[in-house]
Amino acid sequence: MDEKVLRKYLFKEVELTQKVIDRMGNNSFLVKGAAITLVAASLLVEGKLYDSFIALLPWLAFWYLDAYFLRVERLYRRLYYWVTTNRLTSEEFLLDLNRKSLEKRFGNDVDCVPQTMFSKTLIIFYGLLFIMIVLSIFAKLLLF
């Protein structure tokens, strides 16, 4: 293909990749909101002490889910970088936005989900939620 056609593909690929990155960021934001809501709701339930431990389930599930979305976002950011630097010279992987394909191409360059769970931003957010859960459990211990 000539450079003019490849340039059109470049702009389209960049646009599509940016939309996926935006969607992953939005998903991460929604997961954080749901995590706060469900953890707070489960801590407000009146009951036995062990009922407070139920808050750990949504905390852990949403922490993992948030890390998954962040990892996928990072894969698409690698794709964005690759497209912007290589598209005008290569037709390789033209319009390939498949996550499994990205996993094969860039999976080693991006941390796995458990490593992503311990990234600075996620550890601070979910660490504070964990502290809130622990403080709630201690408060119930003191009240009973």
The pLDDT assigned to 144 comes to 67
Through-space distance between the first and last CA atoms of the chain, rounded to whole angstroms: 74
Average pLDDT, whole number, for the chain?
90
Q: How confident is the model at residue 140 (pLDDT cuts 50, 70, 90)?
A: confident
Q: What is the DSSP letter of 45?
A: -
Its pTM stands at 0.89
pLDDT average, residue stretch 16-41 = 95
Going by C-beta distance under 8 Å and a sequence separation of 6 or more, which residues neighbour residue 133? 39, 43, 52, 55, 56, 59
The pLDDT assigned to 136 comes to 87
Q: How far is CA 6 from CA 13, 17, 27, 83, 96, in A?
A: 10, 16, 31, 11, 14
Distance CA 78, CA 106 (A): 7
Residue 130 belongs to domain spanning: 3-143
- The total domain count for the chain is 1
pLDDT average, residue stretch 41-50 = 78
Cβ count near 34 (within 10 Å):
15
pLDDT average, residue stretch 2-16 = 86
Q: Dump pLDDT digits (tens) for 58-111.
A: 999 999 999 999 999 999 999 999 989 888 887 787 887 888 999 998 988 999
Distance CA 12, CA 5 (A): 11
- Indicate whether 132 pLDDT > 70: yes
